[in-house]
Structure 1
């Protein structure tokens, strides 16, 4: 992995600091007897070893699931990621913020070990004074930390490999088609975990009025953008969230002549509602709420929206050629003489390029690798209709209605009983799991708790399915604790 600077003109590294931390990690793992020994019976079929778990996605979520499964002794696993090593997740690909939004003190993907926290790693590299001086975590530094986690835990990640298909196989197994360097391979597994991020069950959402334009005229905020080519040009950013601010700021810093932000709302949201009630109660209790209360909580927070971070917004507004247009809905766009003519609810403006910072859509039908089962997955809208009182937004939230209705271990469930039995072996550990399980499958604060919840269910399933083998092992176990020479059988005393 390419070494990255912790911060521009950042602190100097402490000689030998990381070596000492890594020795501490090894000691912690040794004291806890981790990773646990493998206890899952090996399966072979057609000359191939069957993987107990395959994880798709080697970013933060996938690494945390992998490490937690190893902690529980599930060693026959593999993690596939389509990106090269060091580019997993959004951090150095399309995330354009300078620093993470989350506080630096969160334990994140440490899986309960203090020596695996970001703080332990950062202080080992740069010292305690540098930690105190650090305000927010630079995203490149976070990426480097995740790479260190992968290395120190020896997580089984195979890069530049993507999932191409999923099908049922004999004996309740899953047959995966994976593609690497253009060559397809079949992999058999017992459980599949989709740790695929914000767009994990669909893709970027681009409003139809933008999507109808020639492809050279626009980009979604999650796509590669040649910001250098926007120098001296007029850029319109659609959206008001964090990614809208980050992309607008990047365009301005790269020399865009003018940047206009089109914002439908009459005002920017000011309060991050869900963060305000963050607690262990929310992390562990949300999953136990009645359906109507789950819906009510998330419908309210989605309606309120998450405000863009203050530093990100100031990063835009400090430029004189940045213009915020509130209560400004996009209506139509035309291409005229090589430029864009944009009609809004507040008038018309010209532009050369549009960036759609418009989020993601959970639409499994868009993903060819899910073609074998996408229409069999039960969604919340298939079985639950909230009462009007449970819809603070004032209407039925399409995003919530389209969320997968997941079981206790983040597993998909059948839309109709018996239509696709293998769905119970596919686990959705990405953002669309939020309505079923809360914010534990994608964000930094509770990622370890979410991974533990998933891993425990997988461990339970593997043991229950192999119960006959484990019983045979119980019967055949014959290592004697006693040798027979530890005592002498004495007669009872005779009564006088």
Structure 2
């Protein structure tokens, strides 16, 4: 059984529903005091097929997707659907391919609660009789259980096992085709929010080798990407090779070794690991609110520097592996070929040939909207950062150049000289926003700033689009404030 697919209702990660009852009563009181949810105010918008268009369709029901729904609800925008292709509990990485035992972020980091104290992870943790002071960092599966609890108490409408298949402009709206348990259906929406995580903004990054290339269809039962649902049980007593020296590589090595693997050997091109995590410097409100306001040159220079120095893995992930005798990290030894056969896999490096029983590519994700099938129709109109910087800069940092150029409110933008207003109805809340909004985009530290900013922008856009209707509504407004007083004058008695 894949260690990472353990259900959150097993063992220490199962929340005690009885002990949470008091907290849930407190949540209800807090939300009532905040007038949540407020009155829905957007004007219903007819769709070409005679239905009423959604105000927002959120693609992705993980941490960002469900928090975005909460943020929209708090703005009085409730004609919303949230879909996720995964089963409940498997949205995002927490219950699937994330193989760290604890989160990277400090335990005090808030976000999905949107500032409501009774909705914080700490409140959920302590309500179950657990000590906050004794907690070092949040356990990964506890975080997943907490997110699912938030979804339940906030009654957020996530439709699982439902995928976006197509998206195109239609009469000022976005026409989508989604497929789920109800079959295939056409859904029109005024706004579409892409909260699809790292993998959803492009795809898995896998290197090509002469003897093995996943892009051409090569497969082997013991060659995996780190985002695969890997069964670590059969790797007991085996030798595992891992390409990469990032956090994911160490998490996979640690999981294999804890599962009884005889050896987990990591290979990387660098002579040493990066030493400083620049993203930790960025965790403060000034950066999150101010960085998108900087000009293009400043943002490009800033983020290209971060890309140049790269980020080290967390020290906890390193120590998790180094405690095992079977762990090894081989620097300056890039792979030249991967040669599988029925009995194992040969890894050819710049320094020799090595035999292993299994291989894991911990090579991350490629952010490239060209690899997102449902954006095919709109993709030619979407502007990227490569069109905003000098050609030589784009050539130096091709991965950055492929990132979409977003507005300060996370909207995609149309290429210069292209009339494609529908592009601005698409919002991207994922790692693809990292150059426009900073390296934290798509990660836990930025979830509150990201979702509240995007929700406020959507509220503004909906109001501006229908201002004529609201103006007429204001003129028809006839609530007599002074009717209970002696100074009340009936409307018909008031001179024009």
Pair 1:305-2:310 in alignment = yes
| Deviation, structure 1 residue 333 | 2.4
Q: Say whether the 8 Å CA contact 2:8–2:144 is kept in structure 1.
A: no
Cα deviation, residue 379, structure 1: 0.5
For the Cα contact (< 8 Å) 1:242–1:309, is it kept in 2? Answer: yes
1:377-416 matches, within 5 Å, as 377-385=382-390, 396-416=396-416
Q: Trace 1:57-456 onto structure 2 (pairs within 5 A).
A: 57-127=60-130, 130-170=131-171, 172-181=172-181, 183-209=183-209, 210-212=212-214, 213-335=218-340, 338-385=343-390, 396-439=396-439, 441-456=441-456
CA contact (8 A) 2:20 2:124 kept: yes
Of residues 271-280 and 22-31 in structure 1, the stretch that sits farther from structure 2 once superposed is 271-280
What is the CA–CA distance in structure 2 between the aligned matches of 1:5 and 1:289, rounded to whole Å? Answer: 47
Deviations 1:94-144 (A, max 9, x none): 1111111111111121111111110011111224xx211111111110001
Does the CA contact (< 8 Å) of 2:53 and 2:188 recur in 1? Answer: yes
Q: Is the 8 A contact 1:202 1:366 kept in 2?
A: yes
Q: CA deviation at 1:384?
A: 1.6
Aligned to 1:492: none
Deviations 1:19-42, CA, capped at 9 Å, x for gaps: 221122111111121211101011
How many Å separate the matches in 2 of 1:488 and 1:319?
Answer: 83
Could you tell me whether the CA contact under 8 Å between 1:7 and 1:138 is conserved in 2?
no
Q: Is 1:54–1:79's contact at 8 Å kept on the other side of the alignment?
A: yes
C-alpha deviation, 1:52, in angstroms: 0.2
- Equivalent pair of 1:292/1:386 in contact (CA under 8 Å): no
Q: CA deviation at 1:304?
A: 1.8
192-201 or 251-260, which deviates more: 251-260
- How many residues in Structure 1 have an aligned counterpart in Structure 2? 478
Distance 1:322 1:137 in 2: 25
What is the rounded CA distance, in whole Å, between the counterparts of 2:410 and 2:72 in structure 1?
A: 15
For 1:60 and 1:284, how far apart are their aligned partners in 2?
20
1:53-102 Cα distance to aligned partner (Å, 9 max, x none): 00000100011111011001001001001111121111011111111111
Give the SS at the match of 1:348: strand
Cα pair distance change 1:38/1:265, threshold 3 Å? same
User: Could you say what secondary structure the match of 2:221 adopts?
Assistant: helix
Most deviating of 434-443 and 87-96: 434-443
Q: Secondary structure at the match of 1:65?
A: helix
SS, match of residue 22 in structure 1: helix
Alpha carbons of structure 1 residues 282 and 485: separation in structure 2 relative to 1, 3 Å: closer
Alignment correspondent of 1:27:
29
Equivalent residue for 2:494?
none
Aligned position for 2:492: none
- Equivalent positions of 1:457-472 (< 5 A) are 457-472=457-472
1:131-174 superposed Cα distances (whole Å, 9 cap, x missing partner): 1111111111000100111111111111110100101112x011
Partner Cα separation in structure 2 for residue 380 and residue 146 of structure 1: 33
User: Counterparts of 1:382 and 1:305 in 2: how far apart (Å)?
Assistant: 24
For normalisation by structure 1, the TM-score amounts to 0.91
Q: What root-mean-square deviation, in Å, do the aligned CA atoms of Structure 1 and Structure 2 show?
A: 2.3
1:54 matches 2:57? yes
Structure 1 unaligned residues grouped into runs of 5+: 490-496
Query: Equivalent residue of 1:215, what SS?
Result: coil
**CA spacing shift, 1:74–1:277, aligned 2, 3 Å:** closer
Deviations 1:232-286 (A, max 9, x none): 3321100111100011111122222322100111111222122034322111111
Distance in 1, matches of 2:349 and 2:64, equals 39
Classify the secondary structure of the residue corresponding to 1:446: helix
- 2: CA distance, partners of 1:488 / 1:93: 65
**Whole-angstrom CA distance in 1 between matches of 2:115 and 2:484:** 44
User: What is the deviation of 1:346?
Assistant: 2.2
